[in-house]
Structure 1
Amino acid sequence: MHQDWIHLEHVGAWTDLTNRLAAVDDTDEFYEAEDLLEELNEPGVDPARDTLGLWDNDTMVGFGQLRLGEQLRDGRGRVSIGGGISPEYRRRGHGTLVMDVLEARAGEKMAERHPGVDYTIDVWGNAPGHSAGEMAVARGYEPARFFQDMTLAPGDFLPHRHPASVAEDTVLVPYSPGIAEAVRLLDNEAFADHWGSAPKSADEWAAMTDARSFRGNYSRVLLEGHGEDRPARALSHVLGAEWVARELYISRVGTARAARGLGYAAWVLSTVVAAAFEDGFTKVDLSVDAQSPTGALGLYERLGFQLVRSGTVYRKTVTAR
């Protein structure tokens, strides 16, 4: 058994392990090699220091990766650590090794980027009872938030009608690079009161919307003031991605605070779902914070989305040295 950071030539083995874990742990998080290659090239990521692979001869049997948000939220940094261990290698201390290395790296990276600033570390615990959650608790993490994965099949879709409150100077358009900044600003505003979120920089936004999986043609933005002299303002947006062929994943749903409660999000999402099903997609998936302050869970249920799995995010707060 040996360890090394994840090199470009390791992406194939990393993809194989990630997809095996998706099946074994029923996360449905399947990736192409290109997706993981993009993760190595994300803004601010140093693969040689922010990733770790565990190997048994030529087989990758475990991995970990660290992300640090470029911007602070509520005066604190936000770190997330992801990873996984092959089932037959679990409960042998390999997960502990990965966490030891990446937690130490989190402290180093925070000191480099935000010296003297406290931070949180989030890890995903998968379904209740999974060994990842047990390990997190043993390391001083606490259950912090519960998320629900939901899915929608064509026969269960209950579209939302066009809201009567939509003003004449608004227009619903597909996402395009020309409105990227307006949508980024809306996204940062819409998620400012969401647990665990941090504002996205222009570089982070570009990395997300330039990704192989992003689907601008299955994303919609409600713009106010479109076509006038003043810049258009985004009121509501739904962004879609496709990691598995013919399965659309809703990655972002947001509405400006002043425009909440008017039915915009349900309508915009309905148009995205309808377009996907019309083009032959077999299902639409999303993940929602069960305690979302916007009542998102109820919105999705009204459109016909159904619960398929639950998961827990564990968090630890670290005081800067």
Structure 2
Amino acid sequence: MTTVQPTRPPAPIAERAAAPVVLPALTAGDLTWRPATRDDAPALLDLRNTVAEADHEPYRESMEELLEILDAPWRRLDTDSIVGVDAEGALRAYGYVETMPGDTSRVRAFLWGAVHPDRRGEGIGRELFAWQEARARQLLAASGKEVPARLAGFLEDEAPTAKVRLYERAGFAPLRFYADLERDLRDLEAHPLPAVEPDDGLLLLPLRAELDESARLAHNDAFRDHWGSEPQTPEQWRSGRSTYAPEWSFVVVDPAPDVDALLADPHTDAETAAALRAGEPLVVGYHVAARYTADFAVRGYPFGYTEILGVRRAYRGRKVAVALLAAGMRAFADDGMAAAALDVDTQNPSGAHGLYASLGYGKRHGSRLLTIEL
């Protein structure tokens, strides 16, 4: 008989995080360091876009996007951000750490930051990264969430070698890879869009404001089997709307769901169950689109972006995803967009990558997630 050894419970999060009591000092480059404030937005926007251009990143940021980052209700700029200012008062480096309030099965701390291209090679980035990692560990320890934890950062495939080495020296390793896909919309006679409707009984509708909360519940259900995804709270779902394009966004609704069967399904979450009992509309799939106007010049043409696409697990295989994606692409084309774009996890378990390829999407560039698992 084989004896099954019991699984040892993980150590407490405070122990696993190994958070320092005091954050490391930043002395390189003779910069003055302080927390970021909302008043830094213009200078910070210029710095971030200067870095993006120097590092050949495929996007630029608008003031509206940056202000949404700074104003997120869960963000503490006074403790979780830092900027380096030179003798003339110019911002030369920035960093911040972000944790998400909806994290339940894994608590995550994301590291964001950069150094102005003119000030690289002075050791500023190394000290800044050490500060970010230390603060991230403090946030994980303070979360009190006794679940697996992760330190994480994203790098574009074209990221400078020095930045890649920062992560590697700190013990971060690539864990997931993402592809930015694009589908040309300029010659629809030669490459027509699919004419697809969801299965009988399901309705394809514009994503109106009154369906937004139902779309959030559908998202949390659709992404519960996606790697790295955590539930989104209402405030998370509503944030980052400066680029939201409602005219390109759609949902599929089941007007007559089998409420008893869904309530009996152990996978139906408590929020969806409450909505079903209250007779709320059941969104079973959604296509949330964005208009990244600041990126048009970088790509060389206007494009529509599929921000999030998802289908409830119980409704997969009913042409919901392809109908939503086709509706989104058609809306992009009707609005004069030259291409449709989206980002996908290359190991997505739902088979989304194959769906996109079948609809004419191809890879434009890529990025990766580097982590320390705790």
TM-score over 0.5 (shorter chain): yes
Structure 1 or 2, whichever has the larger Rg, is 2
Match of 1:124 in 2: 154
Partner secondary structure for residue 144 of structure 1: strand
Q: Which runs of 5+ in 1 are unaligned?
A: none
Provide TM-score, normalisation by structure 1: 0.89
One of 298, 302, 313 as aligned partner of 2:358 = 302
- Corresponding pairs, count: 313
Match of 2:226 in 1: 194
How much has 1:104 moved relative to structure 2? 2.2
Shift in CA distance, 98/178, structure 1 to aligned 2, threshold 3 Å: same
Match of 1:247 in 2: 303
One of 268, 272, 290 as aligned partner of 2:346 = 290
Q: Distance in 2 between matches of 1:278 and 1:149?
A: 22
Q: Counting strand residues as a fraction of each chain, which structure ranks higher?
A: 1
Provide TM-score, normalisation by structure 2: 0.77
How much has 1:72 moved relative to structure 2? 2.9
Alignment of 1:150-299 (within 5 A): 150-155=181-186, 158-163=192-197, 166-168=199-201, 170-208=202-240, 211-225=241-255, 230-244=279-293, 246-299=302-355
Asked if the contact 1:158/1:304 (under 8 Å) is kept, the reply is: no
Match of 1:32 in 2: 62
- Which shows bigger deviation, 9-18 or 256-265? 256-265
| Percent identity (aligned) | 24
Query: Is 2:46 the counterpart of 1:13?
Result: no
Structure 1 counterpart of 2:352, one-letter code: A
CA RMSD of aligned residues (A): 2.3
How much has 1:126 moved relative to structure 2? 1.6
Shift in CA distance, 107/151, structure 1 to aligned 2, threshold 3 Å: same
Query: Is 2:109 the counterpart of 1:79?
Result: yes
How much has 1:117 moved relative to structure 2? 4.9
One of 106, 118, 138 as aligned partner of 1:88 = 118
Structure 1 counterpart of 2:207, one-letter code: Y
How much has 1:115 moved relative to structure 2? 5.3
How much has 1:292 moved relative to structure 2? 0.7
Partner secondary structure for residue 133 of structure 1: helix
Q: Distance in 2 between matches of 1:159 and 1:22?
A: 33
Structure 2 counterpart of 1:146, one-letter code: F
How much has 1:226 moved relative to structure 2? 6.9
Shift in CA distance, 264/160, structure 1 to aligned 2, threshold 3 Å: farther
Q: Distance in 1 between matches of 2:372 and 2:221?
A: 25
Shift in CA distance, 226/12, structure 1 to aligned 2, threshold 3 Å: farther
Q: Distance in 2 between matches of 1:139 and 1:15?
A: 27
Shift in CA distance, 292/241, structure 1 to aligned 2, threshold 3 Å: same
Asked if the contact 1:5/1:51 (under 8 Å) is kept, the reply is: yes
How much has 1:174 moved relative to structure 2? 1.6
Shift in CA distance, 200/238, structure 1 to aligned 2, threshold 3 Å: same
Shift in CA distance, 59/247, structure 1 to aligned 2, threshold 3 Å: farther
Q: Distance in 1 between matches of 2:104 and 2:311?
A: 19
Q: Distance in 2 between matches of 1:124 and 1:35?
A: 18
Match of 2:78 in 1: 48
